[in-house]
Structure 1
Amino acid sequence: MSVGRVEERTYYSQALKRTQPFSVYLPELNRNEQLPLLILLHGRGGSHRDWFEQTRAIRYLAGYYLCVVCPQGDDGWYTDAFDGSGAYETDLIACLIPHLQATLPIAPPGKAWAIEGLSMGGYGAIKLALRHYKLFGTAVSHSGAFDITQSTHPHPVFGDLQTCRRFRRQHNVYALAEEALCRYPYERAALWIDCGLQDELLASTRRFHNHLHFIGYGHEYKEEPGYHTWPYWDRAFRAALPWVAQRVGAKSVGGRFK
């Protein structure tokens, strides 16, 4: 099993008007080939370093030819804020992704691209895959904060429940999943959703899972023992990785990990 390397890089974000950092994992390649891409999103209060510093993701990824990119999302919910104070969706879609395509050996978007995240990033992964279905064929959420757009309290990104109702609906994963069913099946991202049994977001995760089941949006769903903490997310990432790798067509290097 050959372990790849993690690098910290930067790009200039026209959306945020500043230089943004990101972390990237690249496997060791013996030949020139395009790699499937996994964009891995951090949670609220986190950073682009979290996944590689807080979990054994590098060890797990050593079994696959897969490029993994972790953006810096701050607390922006991977969304362009209602009042223009932050443009984190545009940053990722229109600034980071073109930079990745220009600088990394990655496959074209669509089936070979996946997006995954935890908590705020779990919401972001599902939301972005539903809104940008031509980019991402697969999305994974661990402990996703799916009810954020339905909060009755004013929010710095999503605004007030009443005055920003239309804006909130545009970023509501329940509504976006319904809209996705109006498209052809090949224009819908495959979804994986999981949550820990002791997680405070379990109830909201179950609500979204039940909604998907009710409207007929097929998806993978898992509940396992665990809290809203890194030990759970480490195990959840490991559990979802073979499914993601198969979906995006990531070749195995024949390695096994325990």
Structure 2
Amino acid sequence: MKFRLPLVCAVLCSVPALAQQPKRTDPIVRVTTIAERIEWGQFHSRVLGRTKGFCAVLPEGYRRTCGDWPVLFLLHGRGRNERTLIDDRSCRESLLQAPFVVILPQGDDGWYIDSPVRTQDRYASYLAEVIQWTASRYRLSDSAAKRAIAGWSMGGYGAPRFAQTRPGRFGLVGSIIGLLDFPRTGLPPGQSYPVPVERFGKGPAVWARFNPIHSVEKLHGSRIVLIAADEAFDRTMNENFRRELSRCGLQADWILLSGGHTFPVVRQALPILIDRVARFFRCHEKRRGMSGPG
């Protein structure tokens, strides 16, 4: 059962802290607290030329007076939005347990790429814009050791692809039932997905530019977490991607869950992902402490 957060109630309440009006130079037009430690923001995207949204889940003890907060940018799947995980009670509880900031951008049906067909739909550039402005507002770390990016389904494609276009910017890259050998044809029956040609264009030559399997070497230096499902149509894509990583001398944390390409699998995978990200951040914090001042 989905949990519908009291956005209307929050708007009706006349508590000044719930709706914060930014400065004129700030592209964020409204930020509303929709639940404890959860904010929903709207801002004007200069890249897309329209108002877009994001959610921010803040860790226990978060304070804006402190900086350098570790962060996970978490991208939603096709047909979903920035509030999908927030509105689900189980997912929301998992997010609230994260000892780091989680930013969930609104990605529409954009696949987090700058489309070669719809040239106005620059969703990779837009994602960079979201990262820039939320980093400023929430005082997020700029260090790769404290930055992670992941997603599920379409977002599980978009997160590795975006990280590949910005090598070395994310210490951890994760994918949950992501389409990691896509766009393409020629996969086994039941192990493919129709290519949205209105987004990616037509033909293998164009598709190859956007298929993350052809740029795995650009993930060198990042921790890679792949969460797949044994009955999902994307399983072969994930296995292909894992093999290509290995061929290039890269290893991934590989978790195979029971189920298909479904939201219950995402719900099951989310706490696993959050745990892996938290452990990664803790490990690097310990290493920095052991190195001492210098």
- TM-score for both structures, normalised by structure 2: 0.75
Alpha-carbon distance in 2 for matches of 1:25, 1:45: 21
8 A contact 1:194–1:221 mirrored in 2: yes
Closer, same or farther: CA 55–219 of 1 in aligned 2, 3 Å: farther
The letter for the 2-side match of 1:216 is: G
Indicate the SS of the match to 1:111: helix
Residue 17 of structure 1: aligned partner: 49
Query: Where does the alignment leave 5 or more consecutive residues of structure 1 unmatched?
Result: 252-258
2:207 is aligned, of 149, 164, 168, to 168
Match runs of 1:1-258 below 5 Å: 5-29=37-61, 32-34=65-67, 35-54=69-88, 56-83=90-117, 84-93=119-128, 95-151=129-185, 155-162=197-204, 165=205, 167-178=206-217, 180=218, 185=220, 188-249=221-282
Alpha-carbon distance in structure 2 between the residues aligned to 1:54 and 1:122: 19
Q: Distance in 2 between matches of 1:57 and 1:246?
A: 19
In structure 1, give the amino acid aligned to 2:165: R
Per the TM alignment, residue 55 of structure 1 is displaced from its structure 2 partner at its CA by: 5.5
Identity %: 28
| Greater relative contact order (Cα < 8 A, sep 6+) | 1
Aligned residues: 239
Asked whether the equivalents of residues 114 and 121 of structure 2 are also in contact (C-alpha less than 8 Å), the reply is yes
Instruction: Please tell me the residue identity of whatever aligns with 1:204.
Output: M
Give the secondary-structure state (helix, strand or coil) at the position aligned to 1:211.
helix
Deviation at 1:221, TM superposition (A): 0.9
Tell me if structure 2 keeps the 8 A contact 1:4–1:27: no
1:116-171, Cα deviation, whole Å (9 max, x unpaired): 11111001111112221232111110111123222485612211115xx2x43332
Distance 1:101 1:206 in 2: 34
TM-score, L = length of structure 1: 0.84
Task: For 1:43 and 1:64, locate their aligned partners in 2 and report how far apart those are by CA, in whole Å.
Answer: 20
Q: Is the 8 A contact 1:22 1:71 kept in 2?
A: yes
- Higher mean C-alpha displacement, 137-146 vs 99-108: 99-108
Unaligned runs of 5+ in 2: 1-34, 187-194, 286-294
Q: CA deviation at 1:197?
A: 1.0
